[in-house]
Amino acid sequence: MAAITINEQQLHPLIASEEMLLVDFWAPWCGDCRRIAGPYDEIADEHAGRMTVVKINVDLFPGIREREEIRRIPTLRLYRKGEVLGQIVEPPAKADIDRFLAPHLPTKQQLTDAHIHDMIIIGGGPGGYTAALYAARAGLDVLLVEQLSAGGQMALTHQIDNYPGFPEGVEGYDLAQQMRAQAERFGAKTKIATVQQALLSGDIKEISTSDGLIYAKTVVLATGATPRELGLPCEKDLLGKGIAYCAACDGMFYRDKVVAVIGGGDTAAADALLLSRITKQVIVVHRRDQLRATKIYHQPLMDAENVTFHWNNEVKELRHNDRQLTGILLRNTLTGEETEVPCDGVFVSIGRKPASQLAEGQLLLENGYIVAGETTETSLPGVYAVGDVRTKKLRQVVTAVADGAMAVHMAEEYLAGK
């Protein structure tokens, strides 16, 4: 049973009702909203009969964001008898939604699956799902664990123009769904859960998830990377109130406003271009005197009339009132001169940090990346690292999918030698 789509007139009687009500406030352009859609339907299934699970598109009912005070989406809010019992905003994993709901509902019994898989893949980005495809086609018993939906960072990428086979480009979310469908066509299974711990040494690897223990002879770590933060005071508090890390997800909130983009790499350049089409003005702040981004971005950015640059500058402070960000204080890296720049939003586009926590203390790491070469073999037998989490020169969708194929090839050799 999927979550029910409702309109504004239906919402108010449901809020007032005796039955517990879970509402997903979402919009079609929001990448995170699309990513939680699958897990949200699963929640509707799991709790059928215990609460009503609905979703409402805030774009169709313009006043609803003000009236219900929705500041970021997706917001999942729980109501009963007209009262708000709690809410969770932009949940990073289904396990977070389960944890949020747990005090209000009978807890789900944790299951232990003693079955030993040939391969467990942790992470459902392009590297993970390519490994799942190759493993399933090779006849391996493979399970992929993903915390929210297929695609990882790719699912939040508005348009991918450099993945071969798509002359007009392809939306990251759509490509992710197709990769998952392709792997599942050959028998790969997906488990939506968060991996809390992975014991990677020994012949049988033990993976502890929010949904119980699972076991495998080989493990592919495809956990990707997450956005790097500026590390400034109040940065976390201002998330969704002026600070954002994903232009494709949050750009629409800044329509006709003034935003700053921090960084000079491909992400910053792509974000600045995307935002130049939505916002009134884009101010690019970069600590060097030129972009490091690929040349293809330079001319379109220079040509965009509403894009300006603050070269050799870094953000020293975030200015804000008690509700939201109001501007930034810049410091020139050469002269030390400080400049106040009023703006409504700041997109932090300064790169990514590898999600390698599961490997800490077990695998060799270098600057946080799991050390693995072209073969994707790590410092432990039967354990492979693919995509953005491994040491490599070029982190792209196309290199992640190549890693996924290679990991399975190496795992097959390893399993054959056992």
Residues 390-409 that bind ligand NAP (CB under 6 A): 394-396
Question: Which entry of 98, 246, 266, 343 is annotated as an active-site residue?
Answer: 246
Can residue 292 be called a binding residue for ligand NAP (CB under 6 A)? yes
Question: In the annotation, is 250 catalytic?
Answer: yes
Minimum separation from the CB atom of position 137 to ligand NAP (A): 28
Asked whether the beta carbons of 408 and 135 are under 8 A apart, the reply is: yes
Nearest to 325 by CA among 236, 264, 262, 250: 236
Residues 195-234 that bind ligand NAP (CB under 6 A): 230
CA distance linking residue 210 with residue 212, whole number of Å = 6
Question: Which entry of 249, 343, 344, 388 is annotated as an active-site residue?
Answer: 249
Asked whether the beta carbons of 158 and 137 are under 8 A apart, the reply is: no
Question: In the annotation, is 246 catalytic?
Answer: yes
Can residue 350 be called a binding residue for ligand NAP (CB under 6 A)? yes
Binding mask 242-271 for ligand NAP (x = CB under 6 A): --------------------xxxxxxx-x-
Minimum separation from the CB atom of position 195 to ligand NAP (A): 24
Can residue 162 be called a binding residue for ligand NAP (CB under 6 A)? yes
Minimum separation from the CB atom of position 383 to ligand NAP (A): 24
Q: Measured from the CB atom, is 230 or 258 closer to ligand NAP?
A: 230
- List the one residue from 288, 298, 316, 323 that touches ligand NAP (CB under 6 A): 288
Q: Do β-strands 83-89 and 75-80 pair in parallel, antiparallel, or remain unpaired?
A: antiparallel
Minimum separation from the CB atom of position 258 to ligand NAP (A): 19
CA angle at residue 220 from 413 to 33, to 5 degrees?
Answer: 145
Question: Which entry of 24, 250, 344, 403 is annotated as an active-site residue?
Answer: 250
CA angle at residue 80 from 74 to 81, to 5 degrees?
Answer: 135
Number of residues that bind ligand NAP (CB under 6 A): 20
Sign of CA dihedral 304, 309, 314, 317: negative
Structure tokens of 368?
């946080």
How would you list the strands of the sheet with 21-26, edge to edge? 4-5, 52-57, 21-26, 75-80, 83-89
Q: Measured from the CB atom, is 289 or 340 closer to ligand NAP?
A: 289
For residue 162, the tally of other CB atoms under 10 A from its CB is 11
Which residue minimizes CB distance to ligand NAP? 265
Question: In the annotation, is 33 catalytic?
Answer: no
Q: Measured from the CB atom, is 179 or 272 closer to ligand NAP?
A: 272
Can residue 316 be called a binding residue for ligand NAP (CB under 6 A)? no
CA distance linking residue 296 with residue 294, whole number of Å = 6
Residues 163-182 that bind ligand NAP (CB under 6 A): none
Query: 176 vs 83, 116, 274, CA distance in Å?
Result: 38, 27, 21
Q: Do β-strands 205-209 and 212-221 pair in parallel, antiparallel, or remain unpaired?
A: antiparallel
List contacts with ligand NAP (CB under 6 A).
Answer: 162, 230, 262-268, 270, 287-288, 292, 314, 350-352, 394-396
**Catalytic site residues?**
246, 249-250
